[in-house]
Amino acid sequence: MTFGLGTFAAEESDPFPGLVTGDRVTDLRSHFGDRVTVLSLLQDWDRSLSRLDDLTSRSAGRPLDELRILPPINPPGAFLCAGANYRMHIIEMRTANAIAAGRDGEQARADATRAMDERAANGIPFMFIGWPGAVIGADDDVIIPGDTGVKHDWELELAVVIGRFARCVSRAEAMDYVAGYTILDDLSTRDRMHRTDLRFTDFLATKGRPTFKPIGPWITPARFVADPHDLRMTLKVNDVVMQDAKSDDMIFSVDRLIEYASGVTDLRPGDIIATGSPSGNAAEHGGRFLRPGDLLEATIEGLGSQRNRCVAAAVSPHGPDFGAAFTAPGA
């Protein structure tokens, strides 16, 4: 029987780790002790997985719709994000930028295609550190700051959850270190990305805003995902499909990302690698950026769904005074 592992809360209780089977959730504290968390289960994943398998056949649980869905690992741990990792996404962006600059679109697309093929064959991933303070649950509200002219965008991503300590792991062994998968929406503020005073990307201002990392609803163990590179990924805004792609368009596959990341830093149980976003961001829909009142719905085949309502911020954490430090989106 398939199952998920997440963190939940009810009005009368503290957050607890739960085993998700169908539309019911079993409180794992009654089976693993009061101090158990999703992270502690991941830290002894092989043994935990065996016990969770056993519980699926004899635990009824309580209705999922009676509970609040929290981030699966709560509080969240470290996570790494793969940037520019979907082939068609980068080709479309480079082509659009070239056309805007007055270049021939057909030639620009051919150049971009060759560049992505070369990168996949001989390049290395581009990764950056995500900010745990931005993480929220799969059904929580996304706060849209009221900055004038700020352009907030969506980025649906397959997220990999690490289940074993990993250092300098080879590509051939990398998938053995995966505990499971979940969904991440890596929201980004496009016109707070590029600084005017430094030749760097400002990932804090772009991706670190409160509530800009919906994750979950839960972790689906790797054994239930036959091929993480063959999953349908769909994101809607107000029931309009914005992203609709397969995870097979990754430039660097999950095993290559783990090989690269573990060669640079240590990966620990509970760490998350976000694998990048496919085409279909706001710029590809006429610059239709997020506004208060929008409903974001993100689904990855076999991993569940997110429903995040966008709400206006009472006070913007990044007000207009910061605007002059950034350039317009599109670079």
| 33 and 20 belong to one structural domain | yes
| 238 and 287 belong to one structural domain | yes
| 309 and 194 belong to one structural domain | yes
Q: Is-contact 168 283, C-beta < 8 A?
A: no
Domain residues for 164?
79-85+125-325
Would you give the end-to-end CA distance of the chain in angstroms? 47
| 170 and 245 belong to one structural domain | yes
pLDDT for 7 equals 98
| 271 and 248 belong to one structural domain | yes
Say what the pTM is: 0.93
What region does 8 belong to: left with phi over 0, alpha with psi -120 to 50, or beta?
Answer: beta
In a domain, 203, yes or no: yes
In a domain, 220, yes or no: yes
Nearest partner of 227 among 175, 266, 277, judged by Cα: 175
pLDDT for 331 equals 36
| 95 and 23 belong to one structural domain | no
Total domains, the chain: 3
| 199 and 159 belong to one structural domain | yes
| 285 and 155 belong to one structural domain | yes
Q: Which two tokens stand for residue 183?
A: 């969904």
In a domain, 48, yes or no: yes
In a domain, 103, yes or no: yes
Print the SS3 string covering the chain: CCCEEEEEECCCCCCEEEEEECCEEEECHHHHCCCCCHHHHHCCHHHHHHHHHHHHCCCCCEEHHHCEEECCCCCCCCEEEEECCEHHHHHHHHHHHHHHCCCCHHHHHHHHHHHHHHHHHHCCCEEEECCHHHEECCCCCEEECCCCCCCEECCEEEEEEECCCECCCCCCCHHHHEEEEEEEECCEEHHHCEECCCCCECHHHHHCCCCCEEECCCEEEHHHCCCCCCCEEEEEECCEEEEEEEHHHECCCHHHHHHHHHHHCCECCCCEEECCCCCCCHHHHCCCCCCCCCEEEEEECCCEEEEEEEEECCCCCCCHHHHHHECCCCC
Q: What is the pLDDT tens value at each position of the chain, 331 positions in all?
A: 899 999 999 987 799 999 999 999 999 999 999 999 999 999 999 999 999 999 998 767 899 999 999 999 988 888 999 999 999 988 988 887 788 788 888 898 899 999 999 999 999 999 999 999 999 999 999 999 876 568 999 999 999 999 999 999 999 999 999 999 999 999 999 888 888 888 888 899 889 999 999 999 999 999 999 999 999 999 999 999 999 999 999 999 999 999 999 999 999 999 999 999 999 999 889 889 999 999 999 999 999 999 999 999 876 555 545 666 776 554 3
pLDDT for 94 equals 85
